[in-house]
Amino acid sequence: MKQLKTLSLGLFVLCLLLSSNLMAQKRDIYELKTYHITSPEQEQMLDSYLEKAFIPAAHRNGVAKVGVFKPIASQPDAGQKVYVFIPFKSLDEFEAFEGKLLKDQTFLKDGDAYINAAFDKPPYKRIETAILRGMSEHPKFAPSKLTNDKKDRVYELRSYEGPTERLYRQKVKMFNSGEMEIFDRLGCSPIFYAETIAGANMPNLMYMTTHENMEVRNEHWKQFGVDPKWIEMRDIDEYKNTVSRNDTRLLYPTEYSDL
């Protein structure tokens, strides 16, 4: 009887571990690439590659949606950066993706000008990459619910850095415990909420919300600041001093962006 109980307990623990592992696997993995460009010629070459070669190839190789965003005209880095958001179902899918592209003959043909660009005429200055994992309470990305013209929209990409790993984890907990719900209630139509696995500004979380225009965006933040739930959460001791730096990017989606 004692051995039976021990075996049953062992099976129960094993099931819990397997269940926990499966839940973790259900959180999307995101690659966020930032292309730094220095000229209209580079921007044109990059746009052509992304629209005609990369995104179609991503679709063929298991990535349903790719987001491409640029700084709005009022931003100091307008015309200098292009953001590419690529969601994957797992780390294994992310790791296999590049190899699939290199075997895709249509991609290699359609992307030839970019892939085989001359050393003295590169399509960008450099690329930054961050690898992210969807938060537990928002594990999957979602296309924006907005229906107005893409050129009028404001997509807000934020990075919150924590002064320590412990305080960073508390900020992640704050998002999972109610902060995301406020954005949803206010109609901010989030694309993703994520923890950074690898990147230049760790420890940090990142998220993207969407707004019909700048006026609506400003009104959303005004409402957020006086929201009773937010006021309640910000005054809880465990959530204080969790952000040491807020990096905000105001972007718009390209016409060929899936998101």
Q: What is the pLDDT of residues 150-206, one digit of tens each?
A: 889 999 999 999 999 999 999 999 999 999 999 999 999 999 999 999 999 999 999
Express each pLDDT in 75-106 by its tens digit: 999 999 999 999 999 999 999 999 999 999 99
Q: How far apart are the first and last CA of the chain?
A: 58
pLDDT at 11 exceeding the cut of 60: no
pLDDT at 8 exceeding the cut of 80: no
Supply the CATH classification number for the domain 27-253.
3.30.70.100
pLDDT at residue 148, as a whole number: 92
pLDDT at 15 exceeding the cut of 70: no
How much of the chain exceeds pLDDT 90, in percent? 89
Residue type, 165: E
| Domain edges within the chain | 27-253
Residue whose pair of structure tokens reads 């933040």 in the numeric block: 221
Instruction: Name the pLDDT band for 125 (thresholds 50, 70, 90).
Output: very high
Closest CA to 113 of 34, 36, 53: 53
What is the average pLDDT value for the chain, to the nearest integer? 92
How many CB atoms lie under 10 A from the CB of residue 205? Answer: 24
DSSP the chain: -HHHHHHHHHHHHHHHHHHHHHHHHTS-EEEEEEEE--SHHHHHHHHHHIIIIIHHHHHHTT----EEEEE-TTSTTTTTEEEEEEEESSHHHHHHHHHHHHT-HHHHHHTHHHHT--TTS-S-SEEEEEEEEEBTTB-S-------S-GGG-EEEEEEEE-SSHHHHHHHHHHIIIIIHHHHHHTT---SEEEEEEE-TT-SEEEEEEEESSHHHHHHHHHHHHT-HHHHHHHTSGGGTT--SEEEEEEEEE-TT---
Express each pLDDT in 201-241 by its tens digit: 999 999 999 999 999 999 999 999 999 999 999 999 999 99
Predicted model pTM: 0.88
Report the alpha-carbon angle 71-114-108, nearest 5: 125
Instruction: Name the pLDDT band for 53 (thresholds 50, 70, 90).
Output: very high
pLDDT at 18 exceeding the cut of 50: no
**Are 190 and 180 spatial neighbours (Cβ–Cβ below 8 Å)?**
yes
pLDDT at 118 exceeding the cut of 50: yes
Residue whose pair of structure tokens reads 């694309």 in the numeric block: 191
